Structure 1
Amino acid sequence: MVSLHANNVASHDHPGSPVAYFTPDNLHDALTALEGGARAVAGGTDLYPALAGAAPREDLVDLSRIAELEGVTQQGAGWRIGATTSWNTIAHAALPRAFTCLQQAAREVGAIQIQQAGTIGGNLVNASPAADGVPPLLLLDAEVELRGLGGARRLKLAQFLRGPGQTALERGELITAVYLPAPPDARSAFVKLGSRAYLVISFVMAAALVELEGGARAVAGGTDLYPALAGAAPREDLVDLSRIAELEGVTQQGAGWRVGATTSWNTIAHAALPRAFTCLQQAAREVGAIQIQQAGTIGGNLVNASPAADGVPPLLLLDAEVELRGLGGARRLKLAQFLRGPGQ
């Protein structure tokens, strides 16, 4: 165990004590630390950028030394992929041709450095609607194995993912593996759309599989609610905010400015704002294709709390505050206080 004292920041869960960094070499020790409130980390490709240079606020458990969590192996007619297996390993594994969509997605997960460090388990736990690994794994009927000190359980990936930043993972549990059933005699493919050809967060992506004996299916994903549903019906009631006039628009208020939560990125990009806000307007022009800019909103971008949210860096730079309102009244928070982590 190594204690981190960066900036003398105390543990979020244990005020006054330093954050601990555990490096177990066996699953039992890792699960024991998780049960105590620590957070798992493997490649760290989402966690560390999200910290934005700050010290962690919770104890961390490094899973990279636990051999049983890594590797791609055939088990009977199916396949097991350990949770800390890197995308680079998956991309170069000798897998059935029906799994081509997964290997193509593995080659699209960021730069080669991200592919070498980022893991399949981390991609799923992060539960980003833009996670490239999700559509092919849903298409291939993947299951995830969850393990805690009390035992193990398996869930279909579609049951494990419950929404942006939300999963069925319980306190003290860890994804230990992804299981793929025996593949059909089929061909598959994965494609994604971003603001450029490479090294980009997906706006929309899709995986498709065609069986040689007939039959085909596809799964789509993307960076907002409807792509994240992947064609399924919503599992909760929805409230459409698009007709509430007071939530939309860019207005000057005294020496400052107010941007309504449902204001589109396209509106922000073309608003008559001070030149100091150029960074925000440039970000607005980078939020996906023009269709995304016209439909996507600044409020949705912040609530999604994705580490890849283009709007967050300029808003933090401009010392933005967010207004939160419920039936009990309203309150305002600095954006840095509002954002608590990926999907939080």
Structure 2
Amino acid sequence: KKHAADISDHFHDNVSYKARERKSAFPQFRLQSHEPFPLLCQKIANDWIENRNYRYEDKSIVLSFILETDSSVECLIDKFSRFHIQLFLIVRGLLSSEVLLVAFKKRYRVNYGVNPNASFNRLMAVPFRAKDVALDRTEYGHPDVALVLTHLSYYYSGLNESQLSQCFKRLNEQETDPASIYDQWILYEDEKDVPKSIRQWNGINLKDYQQNIDYIFPTFRYNMLVINYFLDYFVFPREAKQFPSKLVASAWDLSSSLRTNIITGFSGTNDTQLLLPVHIRQDDLPELQKTDAIVVNNLLKTENENYQCLPINIASENILKQIVDHQEIVNVILDVGA
């Protein structure tokens, strides 16, 4: 969040960025190429190391380790405890192993998001196949990617009334010092954005429905600290599970050479046959060999000769305006979800 605007200024054509109205909210931020990522990693690493109480000469060693994948953990064993080395490995995974890059290149609600279907009964982010269409019974296999995308999903969507109520109920009933936690949430906001009546914990009345709707919900739904609190106590403890081993399979395994029976598959085109497993042979039926030529012929028809390139970050309203203003009559609009 801290460096999003700066990265956007340096790499305007490679970053999609939109600031949020509230100081406590996470901005809309997406990387459109790898180019801005090294600078982002450097800034994050420098901020992180400056907040750690390590000796000056050790900080350069740690920075080198978390930013360079070819550096060995052996240089840290004699200087740091096992706990700290595990911490370095986590940061290294996010930065030099490009977990953050994978997350920031994905489009929220198009490539990932929280499945809104109540029957799915999952609060962590899952892959999407198209805009607002979650892949059925699919989850992220990489735990770090799942955690980062879950954070981003809630930062972008904000908490709903029920989720925010859960946070305040737990804060009131289970925390030993709710006032200090609430003060941290307030400090993360811009003072002018917080109504005077709720600037102190003793001013909160959880039974006052009007106060919840008019003041608490608008103030805290996008607050990153409140969202982190919700994730820490209501999402990750229940759903962030990690197992010692896992079964991995893909479509290639359907045609494994270990299978004794013949497997038959179908593809609408033959342009990807070079990507098939080496033990697979494509057998084009004679009556279908003209399919590719038919597709090319359709593309070359007169009605397909017009092409208009739109800017990368164009808003949906502008797309519709260009369609309306188009010189040719548009009969069909296909939304592929991306």
TM-score (norm 1): 0.25
TM-score (norm 2): 0.25
Highest CA radius of gyration, 1 or 2?
Answer: 2
Structure showing the higher strand proportion among its residues: 1
